[in-house]
Amino acid sequence: MSRFTIGIDLGTTNTALAFVDTEVSPDNPEEAMVATLPIDQVVSAGAVDQRPTLPSAVYIAGGQEVPEGALNLPWRSEGRVTIGQFARELGARVPTRYIHSSKSWLCHGGVDREAPILPPNSPEEDAKRSPAEVAAMILRHLAEAWDHNLAGGDPALALTAQEVTLCVPASFDAGARNLTVAAAERAGFKDLHLLEEPQAALYSWIEATGPRWRKETSPGDLVLVVDVGGGTTDFSLIAVSEEDGALALRRLAVGEHILLGGDNMDLAIAYGLSGQLEEERGVKLDAWQMSALVQQCRMAKEELLLNPERASYPISILGRGSAVIGGTIRTELPRAGLDGFLLEGFFPPCGPGDRPARPRRAGFREAGLPYAPDPGITRHLARFLSIHAEQVKETHPDRVAPDGGFALPTAVVFNGGVFKAEPLRRRILETLGEWGAQAGKEAPRMLGSIDLDLAVARGAAYLGLARRGRGIRIRGGSARSYYIGIESAAPAVPGVPPPIKAMCVVPHGMEEGTSVDIGGREIDLCIWTGEPAAFRFLSSTTRRQDKPGDLANVTAEEFEEHNPIETVLGEGEEEGEGRPAEVDLRAELTEIGVLRLACVERGTGKEYQLEFNVRHSGEE
C-alpha cells in the first residue's frame, strides 16, 4: 500500500492536490492530517513559485513569443508548454495558443474528445490538443511537482505510485469518467479511484469538523450539496441514517450536467458593463481591454459580495498605449448592478414549481460548449429537488412536500469559490426556507464551513484513508442507470425513425466492484461478426426502478442519449463472411469507478469490449 493517499481536484479553472501521509497520521482517521501541496508553476517569464492551486490553463508557445528559458521548470528545461499562472497571462495576450476550461469539453458528447480540437476556432494547428490530452498534461505537471518536492528520487514515493482519488463532477456520464481515467493512466497513474465532487465536499466537511461531525448530524438528515465550480453546477443529495448503531451516509441522487459556473458570472458582469459603455458613451473595448474588464469584474464581484456596506466598486480600464490617464475608461459597478447580474440573473428567487427554460431547438449549433440555456441556478435546483422527490420519499417521507412535489433537505453544504460570497449562500438558504415554509417544513441549516478552494482535493485525500477502513464512506453506487437502445419492430414509415426502446444494462445504485450479466431467452441480441456493431447508448438519473434487462420507452424527459457504443465481433474474420452471433451483455462497474460493457458470445463465451465512442456521432 502506498505511503500517501492523494486527492486531486482537476477543476475547470483550478487544480488542487491534497494528501495524507499515512505514516504520520494518528490511528484515529478523524484526526487525520490532510495537507495540500503548494504547486510549483511558472508565474512570470523565467520565475517559478509555489501557489496553493494550479490554474487549469495551458499555453503552447509558438517558439518566439517568450525569451528562451522563460518556461523552464525547476526539474527540467521546457521550451514550449507552460501550465498554470503564467499560461493564463500569456493566454490573455495570445488567445489562439491558450487552452482553458478543457474539462467542460471532456463531457461534451458532440465533439471528438480525443482529437486535437482545443483551443476551439484557433488557426494554430500546432497548438491544438485534445481535451483528454490536456487533462493528462495537467496531471503530469502535478506528478512532476510532487516528485520534485516530496519523492526525492524514490520511485516508491512518486505521485503516480500513490493511491490517488481523482474527482469528477457527479454529473459526468460514463464516457467522460472513462476518458478521465484514461487520461490519468496515460499520465502514468496506476492506483486510481474516481470520486464525485459533491461527495468530496462532504468528506472535506467531515475532515474539517473532526469527530464532532457525528454530533452535528443525526439520522434522518438529508444533506444537499450545492457545488458551483468555475464551469459546472453540481447538486447531490446525501442521506444520513443509522445502521448497526453507527451513522451511515448514502448518496441518493445527483443532478444533471449543468454547464454553468463562476466563469459565466464574471463574463455576464463584464458583458453587461461593456454593453452599457457602448450604449451610453459609444466606447468599444478591444479584446485586450475586455479581458482586463473581466479581471476587474471578478475583483468587483468578490469585493462587493464580501463587503455588504459598499455601494459600488470603481472600475477603470487603463488606456492601451502609454497614455494611462488620457486613455482610461472609467465606470463603476454599483451594488444594484451586481445584484441584477448575479442574484437576479444566476440566483433568482423562484418557487419550487419553477423549471429552467428548455433548450431552444435550433437547426444549427455553434461548435462551442453546450452551456446551460437557463442561468438560473435556483430554477435548476427546483427541478433537481422535484425530480428526486419520489426517491427521497422512500427513505425520508417527512422531507417531501405534502403534495409529493419536491424534496427538502435538512442541511446544506456549499462548495465552490463563488460561495465565498455570503449573499449567494443566503439566497440559496432563503429560497429553500421559503419552499420549506410552503410545505410546512423547517428551513435547512448550513453545515459548517470548508475551504472552498481546496475542499474537493482535501475530501478526496481523506477518502483515501476511509478506503483503508479508517473513516466513514459515503455509499451510493452508480448515480445513473444506463441503457442500450433497441429498435422496436414497427412498420417502417418514411421520414419517421423507428421508435427505440431502452434496455437497462446498469441499474441505478449498482455498486462499484460489481458486475451484472444480461442474457437468457428474454433478450435476443444478435449481431453480425466481422463488422462494427453499434448500439445507441442512453442514461437516466431519475429511473431507479429498472432492473437489468428491463425495457422502457424512451422519453426526452427521463433519458439522455450519449454517443453510441460499438464493438467488432469475431476479429480476424473476413468481411462478408460474417455470421450472426447470439450475444449476452455484461456490465461491470470497476473499483476505479469506470463502466465496462461487453458482449459475450453465447456459443464460445468470448467477450468483446463495447467501446464508448468519444467521436461525434454526427446525428445530434
Partner 1 sequence: MRLFTAVRWFFRILFKGDAAFAELPGAAPKPVFTGSTEPAVQLLGLLQKEGRLLDFLNEEIDGYGDAEIGAAVRDIHRGCRRVLDKHFQLRPVLEEAEGAAVTLPEDFDPSAVELYGDAGNSGPRKGTVRHRGWYAEETKLPTIPESADPKVAAPAQVEVAS
Under rule CB under 8 A, residue 276 binds partner 1: no
Pairing of strands 47-51, 222-228: unpaired
43 binds partner 1 (CB under 8 A): yes
- Contacts with 74 (C-beta within 8 Å, 6 or more apart), sequence order: 40, 48, 148
Q: Which is nearer to partner 1, 127 or 503 (CB)?
A: 127
Q: Does 67 bind partner 1 (CB under 8 A)?
A: yes
User: Which of 321/402 has CB closer to partner 1?
Assistant: 321
CA gap 559, 385 in Å, rounded = 17
Closest CA to 111 of 95, 96, 133, 130: 130
- Taking a C-beta distance cutoff of 8 angstroms, is the pair 564, 550 a contact? no
- The contact mask relative to partner 1 for 446-475 (x = CB under 8 A, - = no) is ------------------------------
Taking the CA atoms of 321, 323, 326 and 328 in sequence, report the sign of the dihedral they define.
positive
Q: Which stretch binds partner 1 (CB under 8 A): 42-50, 304-312, 512-520, 528-536?
A: 42-50
Kindly state whether residue 555 participates in binding partner 1, applying the rule CB under 8 A. Answer: no
Is 76 near partner 1 (CB under 8 A)?
yes
Which of 24, 323, 336, 526 binds partner 1 (CB under 8 A)? It is 323
* Window contacting partner 1 (CB under 8 A); options: 74-82, 186-194, 271-279, 529-537: 74-82
Of 23, 27, 63, 77, the one binding partner 1 (CB under 8 A) is 77
Nearer to partner 1, 37 or 71 (CB): 71
Any contact of residue 120 with partner 1 (CB under 8 A)? no
Q: Check if the beta carbon of residue 581 is closer than 8 Å to that of residue 601.
A: yes
- Smaller CB distance to partner 1: residue 73 or 81? 73
Task: Return the H-helix or E-strand segment holding 435.
Answer: helix 422-439
Nearest one of 196, 159, 93, 206 to 462, comparing CA atoms: 206
Give the span between the Cα atoms of 310 and 303, in whole angstroms: 8
- For partner 1, the closer CB: 70 or 424: 70
Q: Scan residues 325-364 and list those touching partner 1 (CB under 8 A).
A: 325-326, 328, 330
16 makes contact with partner 1 (CB under 8 A)? no
Read off the DSSP letter of residue 129.
Answer: B
Among 576, 581, 466, 482, CA closest to 535: 482
Parallel, antiparallel, or unpaired: how do β-strands 163-168 and 191-196 relate? parallel
Applying CB under 8 A, the span of 313-321, 379-387, 465-473, 534-542 interacting with partner 1 comes to: 313-321
Residue number with CB closer to partner 1 (122 or 617): 122
Q: Is 576 in the site for partner 1 (CB under 8 A)?
A: no
For partner 1, which is the closer residue by CB, 68 or 154? 68
Which residue in the block uniquely carries the three cell numbers 428567487?
Answer: 349
- CA 368 to CA 380: how far, in whole Å? 22
Interface residue with partner 1, options 8, 54, 70, 226 (CB under 8 A): 70
> Looking at 26, 69, 275, 532, which residue binds partner 1 (CB under 8 A)?
69
CA 76 to chain centre: 31
Count of residues that bind partner 1 according to CB under 8 A: 29
Contact 210, 31 (CB under 8 A): yes
Q: Which stretch binds partner 1 (CB under 8 A): 63-71, 135-143, 368-376, 377-385?
A: 63-71
Kindly tell me which of 48 and 595 has the beta carbon lying closer to partner 1. Answer: 48
Q: Is 68 in the site for partner 1 (CB under 8 A)?
A: yes
Q: How far is CA 519 from the centre of its chain?
A: 34
| Contact call for residue 322 and partner 1 (CB under 8 A) | yes
Q: What residue type is 504 in one-letter code? A: C
Q: How far is the CB of 136 from partner 1 (least distance, A)?
A: 22
322 vs 604 by CB, closer to partner 1: 322
Q: Which of residues 387-446 bind partner 1 (CB under 8 A)?
A: none
Nearer to partner 1, 275 or 288 (CB): 288
| Of the residues 24, 50, 74, 359, which one makes contact with partner 1 according to CB under 8 A | 74
Return the number of the residue (44 or 395) whose C-beta is nearest partner 1: 44
Question: What does DSSP assign to residue 160?
Answer: G
Decide: is 318 part of the binding site for partner 1 (CB under 8 A).
Answer: yes
| Residue 284 binds partner 1 (CB under 8 A) | no
Task: Rule CB under 8 A: choose which of 34, 48, 151, 158 binds partner 1.
Answer: 48
State phi, psi for 293 to the nearest 5 degrees: -65, -40
Q: What's the min distance (Å) between Cβ of 607 and partner 1?
A: 44
Q: Give the H/E segment covering residue 605.
A: none
Question: Quick one: cell of 3?
Answer: 505511503
Where does residue 582 rank: exposed (0-12), middle (13-18), buried (19+ CB within 10 A)? Answer: middle
Question: Is residue 47 part of the contact set for partner 1 (CB under 8 A)?
Answer: yes
Site membership for partner 1, residue 49 (CB under 8 A) = yes
C-alpha cell at 179: 476518458
* Residue 488 is a binding residue for partner 1 (CB under 8 A): no
CB 453 within 8 A of CB 16: yes
By CB under 8 A, residue 64 contacts partner 1: no
Could you tell me the three cell numbers for 137?
Answer: 498534461
Q: Does the protein bind partner 1 through residue 73 (CB under 8 A)?
A: yes
Q: How far is the CB of 536 from partner 1 (least distance, A)?
A: 42
Residue type (1 letter), 88: R
Residue 228: in which H helix or E strand, if any? strand 222-228
Residue 531 is placed in which grid cell?
463488422
> Distance between CA atoms of 595 and 585, rounded to whole angstroms?
13
203-228 in b/e form (b: 16+ CB < 10 A) is bbbbbbbeeebeeebeeebbbbbbbb
For residue 337, the minimal CB distance to partner 1 (Å) is: 18
The verdict on 152 binding partner 1 (CB under 8 A) reads no
- The contact set with partner 1 (CB under 8 A) reads 43-49, 66-70, 72-77, 123, 314, 316, 318, 322-326, 328, 330
